[in-house]
Structure formats: C-alpha cells, structure tokens
Amino acid sequence: MKHDNGLVSLPEPGMLHRALLLLAVPMVLVSLYLVFIWSPVERQMGVVQKIFYFHVGSAWNAFLAFFVVMVFSILFLITRKRIYDMIAGVSAEIGVIFTAIVLTTGPIWARSAWNTWWTWEPRLTTTLILFFMYIAYIMVRSLDMEWQKKGRLSAVLGIVGALNVPIVYMSIRWWESNLHPVVMGEGADGAGGGMEPSMFFTLMFTVFTLTLVYIVLMQSGVYIEKLRLHAKKLKAKQQEKMTG
C-alpha cells in the first residue's frame, strides 16, 4: 500500500528490529554488571564516578541523535518527503531524553567532584542551551498548522540546533575549563588519556549499548509515527464517507 508524501507502506516491525531488541536487553544487563561490579572503583571520587559511564554514553548518543536530526532535516528540505521529517522528529525526541540524562547525571557527578550541584562552566552551559533549543524544536512540531509548513520550520530549527553540537564538544578546549575533564584524552589536543583498560572497556561497551538502544528507539518511534499518520488518514476518510 502506497501513501502520499513519500510514505510507502505500513509494515509490521521487521526481523531486524526484533533482533536488535533481543540483543539490546542482555547488553544493557551486561553494561550494568560491567559498571557496578566488574570495573574498579576510582580512587579519588569513589563509587559516584560510576555515573560517568552513563553520562558519557548519553552525551554521545545525544550528539548522534541531533546529527541525525540535521541530516534528515536537510533531506526533508530538499525532497519534501514526510518520512524524513518523521525520522528527524523522532530522533530529536530521543536526543532530548539523552540530553536530560546528561544534565541529570552531570550535577550528581559535579556535587562529588566540585562540591556544588551546578556551575556555569562552558560544557554544562552549552549543553543546557542545546537542550532548550531542541525543547523549542519539539514545541514547534506540536503546533497546530499545516504539516509541510511545520516541517520546514522545524527542519531549519533542527539544523541550527545541531550546529551547537560541535560547540558543546569543543567548549572545554576552546574556553580552557579547569573543571570539566577531557574524557577521551589529556591536554588541549586530546591526546593520551589516564583511564585504566578495564574502565575504558566498560565505557566503550556502555556507549555501544546505549547506541543500540537509540537505534531500537528510533525504529519503534518511526513505526509509531507511521501508525499515527495512518490512523489519521483512516479517520479523515471515514469522516468524508459520513459527510458525503
């Protein structure tokens, strides 16, 4: 069955989605084991340091989500296909969730490391700005207006918001923050690093696991959006029959 505006069919969730979902569940459990049991406790910060794995993994996937928003927003502006608008919207919602996790875990970590729940250091500040930009993006998408116009407006906002991602990433190097650590290296060039091998493995495994969770959420979100659009079209046809 073919829909308008580039939406071709309404398939059931495929084998790939089910396989990734079945893979994600044990990987989440393994990640929890690696974080809380297998990886060593950091000497200075103690157990609270373990929140670092979820903090970094969530930040990476927030950046990935907003990059996907930018790519599919550009594709939507070029092609005007509704499926691209859907993908961008779903990815933005997931990115906001991951950013909220970053902004929640960050202050918990900061309380132990800096003896304060919040400080206006460069990365925290730019991350908060990024969060509000995509909250605004989601609010635009919820407006009651014609979908093409809303799609164009949100696409522009999504692209502008994504341009803030490299600013967030580079902020502690550009503004030479002495508070927020450079996670993947030491010094302005990011070279080197002082992480123990077991900690580094746990970090990479957690980042990969959360990336898999992002993919599963994307697949589910796009499918739900297709269902919602399909139901709206069926309702419109039914109303036409009743009025006709």
CA atoms within 13 A on the CB side of 29: 5
Quick check: is 240 in a domain?
no
Q: What is the per-residue pLDDT across 54-89, written as a single tens digit (0 to 9) for each?
A: 999 999 999 999 999 999 999 999 999 999 999 999
pTM of the model: 0.84
Using the 8-state DSSP alphabet, how is residue 38 labeled? I
Residue 13 pLDDT more than 80?
no
Quick check: is 14 in a domain?
no
Quick check: is 235 in a domain?
no
Distance (Å, rounded) from C-alpha 52 to C-alpha 6?
41
Q: Residues 22-49: what's their mean pLDDT?
A: 87
- The whole-number pLDDT of residue 179 equals 54
Q: Please report which confidence band the pLDDT of residue 1 belongs to, taking 50, 70 and 90 as the band edges.
A: very low
Q: What is the per-residue pLDDT across 153-196, written as a single tens digit (0 to 9) for each?
A: 999 999 999 988 988 888 766 666 555 555 554 444 444 356 78
Quick check: is 222 in a domain?
yes
Quick check: is 96 in a domain?
yes
Q: What is the per-residue pLDDT across 201-214, written as a single tens digit (0 to 9) for each?
A: 999 999 999 999 99
Quick check: is 32 in a domain?
no
Quick check: is 231 in a domain?
no
Distance (Å, rounded) from C-alpha 221 to C-alpha 239?
27
Quick check: is 172 in a domain?
yes
Domain assignment of residue 201, given as a range:
54-226
Residue of higher predicted confidence among 229 and 114: 229
45 token code pair? 């910060």
Q: Please report which confidence band the pLDDT of residue 119 belongs to, taking 50, 70 and 90 as the band edges.
A: confident
What total of structural domains would you count in the chain? 1
The answer to whether 98 and 214 are in contact (CB under 8 A) is yes
Distance (Å, rounded) from C-alpha 208 to C-alpha 168?
21
- What share of the chain has pLDDT > 90, as a percent? 45
